[in-house]
Amino acid sequence: MTAPGVVSWALLLEYDGTPFVGWQRQANGLSVQSVLEDACARLNSGAAVSTVAAGRTDAGVHAAGQVALAALPDRYRAEQIRDALNFHMLPHPVAVLRAAPAAPGWNPRFDAVGRAYAYRILNRRARPALDRHRAWHVERPLDADAMAEAASLLLGRHDFTSFRASACQATNPLRTLDRLDVTRHGDMLTVAADARSFLHHQVRNMVGTLKLVGEGRWRPAQVRAALEARDRRAAGPTAPPDGLMLLAVRYPQDPFGGGTSRTEACTPPIPAA
Amino acid sequence: MTAPGVVSWALLLEYDGTPFVGWQRQANGLSVQSVLEDACARLNSGAAVSTVAAGRTDAGVHAAGQVALAALPDRYRAEQIRDALNFHMLPHPVAVLRAAPAAPGWNPRFDAVGRAYAYRILNRRARPALDRHRAWHVERPLDADAMAEAASLLLGRHDFTSFRASACQATNPLRTLDRLDVTRHGDMLTVAADARSFLHHQVRNMVGTLKLVGEGRWRPAQVRAALEARDRRAAGPTAPPDGLMLLAVRYPQDPFGGGTSRTEACTPPIPAA
């Protein structure tokens, strides 16, 4: 329920995760949520505003299309919400791309039916100059075809315990992986992952495991065996956060009324439900 | 002529131009050239090494495929040159992607037969969070089709005085523009420009003029009229450096023996001569 005089806004957000401890507000550092909530408070006579996001991205993880909900006084138009929040979030690398009134009871996390992530690996000897903090730098040559083959063995509905952080709070480790593509453009590999939802660290743990295949240390079939072990110790290490980007969140009805964020230019759109 | 005991190396470089005063060494700030030359001196018993680049990019302009020449003692292999220079250039956002022995008399600037640049415009109300320092932020909606039409009117061999910086030192203002494409992916516009060589600020001045067309303030034909005026005052303002990237330099024979840098994933390769 939204209180009288208050409007619930759906917000489409872009951020560079590099300087943040992650989405979630924490005592020990700057979070995207705290930057957004502090800006919201400026539109609420200084009173605290709490927000909810579709996905609680980790420290260093980026977003091109995060979606959040914030309740704000009903005296603003959508463009004013967007522009005022952007003004008050300066100089932090967070931007509100769109604001739209949310349907009653709408929740950006629980109503989401699809999440699209991209993970980028810069695969060359020289360190990244242009992609610093935006890709995992892997020096050993990776076999993208072998990684793609291994990735295909993870598609579908499975118990993803082997790819789940020990701190994961989900009650159920079953997830349906709709897409896990590995493509190469020059020395940049992109792993595109789509699912209704992911377990904590699931994308980074899958990528860390696929890298073992790319290096030739694992055969693709070993990734399937790791999945079936339902044991975190059976899979590979967690890939670093720098390469991960939340591209888009999908809902049965687009809260922004069509047209969402710009995502990476070459990333195909999230498949329809 | 290269002195005995010395090898001339062609170097393929990537850099984020944000923290630099530009390619060229200057008294008043950090340049890409000074970072590279200081690293070269470390491989030369501390003695100064001078370098030459294919294009002297301005302050804030980025490169995915700059090419430079440096003469270094003959005791190193190509991989050692690359790795040692990358080590000594830390923590600056410059990386040597490849090193290869240069043919006698080869000059990265005068032997180049093609240069490819991309200029990116983020066209939306919200400021860039992910593309900060990597795109020109233009809030007013731009008509990319009108910009593309105007761009096509600049193709070919012309006197580009109207798009040339007053400080330009070239003796001849004639240039042949082989490509000037304007494309849109979501809210990102990319202007791709290829020529044998460009005048100083030519790409940024063409982009600043095309923006006037995109905003509807100029008709495409006015860009052609500005070209024909051969007067810098007839064309539009200089676009900021942030959006500009030197993608690649082309030579009759690839100094790196095939396979150059990763350029932007969606940018088509430079057309063959």
* Cα gap B209→B220, rounded to integer Å: 10
The DSSP secondary-structure symbol of B86 reads H
Nearest-neighbour CA in chain A from B212: distance (Å): 23
In the predicted model, is pLDDT for residue A265 greater than 70? no
Q: Does A14 contact B188 at a Cβ distance shorter than 8 Å?
A: no
pLDDT mean across residues, chain B:
93
Q: Does A266 contact B265 at a Cβ distance shorter than 8 Å?
A: yes
Q: Does B95 contact A128 at a Cβ distance shorter than 8 Å?
A: yes
- Contact with chain A for residue B14, Cβ under 8 A: yes
Nearest-neighbour CA in chain A from B17: distance (Å): 9
- Contact with chain A for residue B188, Cβ under 8 A: yes
Q: What is the pLDDT of residue B22?
A: 97
For B79, name the nearest residue in chain A, comparing CA atoms only.
Answer: A125
* Residue with tokens 């006084």, as numbered in its chain: A73
Confidence of residue A36 (pLDDT cuts 50, 70, 90): very high
Taking CB atoms and an 8 Å cutoff, what residues of chain A touch B128?
A: 95
Over residues A38-64, the mean pLDDT reads 96
Confidence of residue A257 (pLDDT cuts 50, 70, 90): confident
If one compares A270 and B101, the residue with the highest pLDDT of the two is: B101
Q: Is A232 in a helix, a strand, or coil?
A: helix
Q: What is the pLDDT of residue B257?
A: 85
Q: What are the angstrom distances between the C-alpha of B7 and each of A14, B34, B54, B206?
A: 48, 20, 19, 39
Residue A212 corresponds to which tokens in the numbers above?
Answer: 């073992």
Q: What is the pLDDT of residue B171?
A: 87
Give the end-to-end CA distance of chain A in Å, rounded to a whole number.
28
Closest CA to B153 of B202, B201, B219, B230: B219
Q: Are B241 and B59 in contact (CB under 8 A)?
A: yes
Phi/psi-derived region of residue A259, left when phi > 0, alpha when psi is between -120 and 50, beta in every other case: left
Residue A46 corresponds to which tokens in the numbers above?
Answer: 């200084």
User: Which one of the listed residues B16, B58, B131, B143 is annotated catalytic?
Assistant: B58
Nearest-neighbour CA in chain B from A262: distance (Å): 5
- Contact with chain B for residue A62, Cβ under 8 A: yes
Domains, chain A: 6-111 (3.30.70.580), 114-246 (3.30.70.660)
Annotated catalytic residue A111: no
Nearest-CB residue to B86 (from A62, A127, A188): A127
Residue B77 burial class via C-beta count within 10 angstroms: exposed 0-12, middle 13-18, buried 19 and up: exposed
In the predicted model, is pLDDT for residue B272 greater than 50? no
In the predicted model, is pLDDT for residue A268 greater than 70? no
Nearest-CB residue to A14 (from B16, B129, B262): B129
- Contact with chain B for residue A160, Cβ under 8 A: no
Q: What is the pLDDT of residue A169?
A: 82
* Spatial CB neighbours of A69, under 8 Å, sequence gap ≥ 6: A8, A9, A10, A11, A51, A52, A53, A102, A106, A107, A108
Question: Rounded to two decimals, what is the model's pTM?
Answer: 0.91
Q: What is the pLDDT of residue B268?
A: 39
In the predicted model, is pLDDT for residue A271 greater than 80? no
Q: Cβ–Cβ contacts within 10 Å for residue B49, how many?
A: 18
Residue B18 corresponds to which tokens in the numbers above?
Answer: 């944000």
For A12, name the nearest residue in chain B, comparing CA atoms only.
Answer: B126
Residue B242 corresponds to which tokens in the numbers above?
Answer: 């942030």
Which of B262, B263, B264 would you mutate first to test chain A, the one with the most A CBs within 10 A? Answer: B262
pLDDT mean across residues, chain A:
93
In the predicted model, is pLDDT for residue A190 greater than 50? yes
In the predicted model, is pLDDT for residue A207 greater than 50? yes
Strands A188-195 and A94-101: unpaired
Q: Are A27 and A18 in contact (CB under 8 A)?
A: no
Angle at B197 between CA B190 and CA B63, to 5 degrees: 50
Q: Cβ–Cβ contacts within 10 Å for residue B236, how many?
A: 21
- Summarize pLDDT for A85-94 with one digit per residue, the tens: 999 999 999 9
- Those of residues 199-258 in B touching chain A at CB distance below 8 A are none
Q: Does A96 contact B129 at a Cβ distance shorter than 8 Å?
A: no
User: What is the length of chain A?
Assistant: 273
Q: What is the pLDDT of residue B148?
A: 98
Strands B244-250 and B188-195: unpaired
Confidence of residue B260 (pLDDT cuts 50, 70, 90): very low
* Cα gap A20→A95, rounded to integer Å: 14
* Cα gap B210→B150, rounded to integer Å: 7
Q: Enter the ipTM.
A: 0.89
In the predicted model, is pLDDT for residue B45 greater than 50? yes
Nearest-CB residue to B130 (from A64, A124, A185): A64
Confidence of residue A1 (pLDDT cuts 50, 70, 90): low
Q: What is the pLDDT of residue B265?
A: 35
Strands B156-159 and B174-185: antiparallel
Over residues A247-260, the mean pLDDT reads 86
Taking CB atoms and an 8 Å cutoff, what residues of chain B touch A82?
A: 125-126
For A186, name the nearest residue in chain B, comparing CA atoms only.
Answer: B262
For B190, name the nearest residue in chain A, comparing CA atoms only.
Answer: A265
Residue B249 corresponds to which tokens in the numbers above?
Answer: 């330099």
Nearest-CB residue to A15 (from B97, B129, B263): B129
Q: Does A130 contact B14 at a Cβ distance shorter than 8 Å?
A: yes
User: Which one of the listed residues A38, A58, A111, A143 is annotated catalytic?
Assistant: A58
For B13, name the nearest residue in chain A, comparing CA atoms only.
Answer: A129
Residue type, B155: L
Q: Does B262 contact A83 at a Cβ distance shorter than 8 Å?
A: no
Confidence of residue B271 (pLDDT cuts 50, 70, 90): very low
- Contact with chain A for residue B178, Cβ under 8 A: no
For B127, name the nearest residue in chain A, comparing CA atoms only.
Answer: A95
For A86, name the nearest residue in chain B, comparing CA atoms only.
Answer: B126
Taking CB atoms and an 8 Å cutoff, what residues of chain A touch B188?
A: 262, 265
- Summarize pLDDT for B110-135 with one digit per residue, the tens: 999 999 999 999 999 999 999 999 99
- Contact with chain B for residue A12, Cβ under 8 A: no
Buried (b) or exposed (e) across A62-80, using 16+ Cβ within 10 A? Answer: bbbbbbbbbbbeeebebee
- Summarize pLDDT for A108-150 with one digit per residue, the tens: 999 999 999 999 999 999 999 999 999 999 999 999 999 999 9
Taking CB atoms and an 8 Å cutoff, what residues of chain B touch A128?
A: 14, 95
The DSSP secondary-structure symbol of A231 reads -
Over residues B182-190, the mean pLDDT reads 97
Taking CB atoms and an 8 Å cutoff, what residues of chain A touch B129?
A: 14-16, 93-95
* Cα gap A248→A261, rounded to integer Å: 7
Q: What is the pLDDT of residue B264?
A: 36
Q: What is the pLDDT of residue A272?
A: 38
Q: Cβ–Cβ contacts within 10 Å for residue A25, how many?
A: 18
State percent of chain A over pLDDT 90: 89
Q: What is the pLDDT of residue A263?
A: 39
Over residues B151-166, the mean pLDDT reads 96
* Residue with tokens 């500005």, as numbered in its chain: B226
Provide DSSP, B40-81: HHHTTTT----EEESS-PBTT-EEEEEEEEEEEETT--HHHH
Q: What are the angstrom distances between the C-alpha of B163 and each of B144, B154, B157, B198?
A: 20, 11, 13, 10
Q: What is the pLDDT of residue A167?
A: 82
- Summarize pLDDT for B97-111 with one digit per residue, the tens: 999 999 999 999 999
State percent of chain B over pLDDT 90: 89
Q: Does B15 contact A129 at a Cβ distance shorter than 8 Å?
A: yes
Q: What is the pLDDT of residue A2?
A: 60
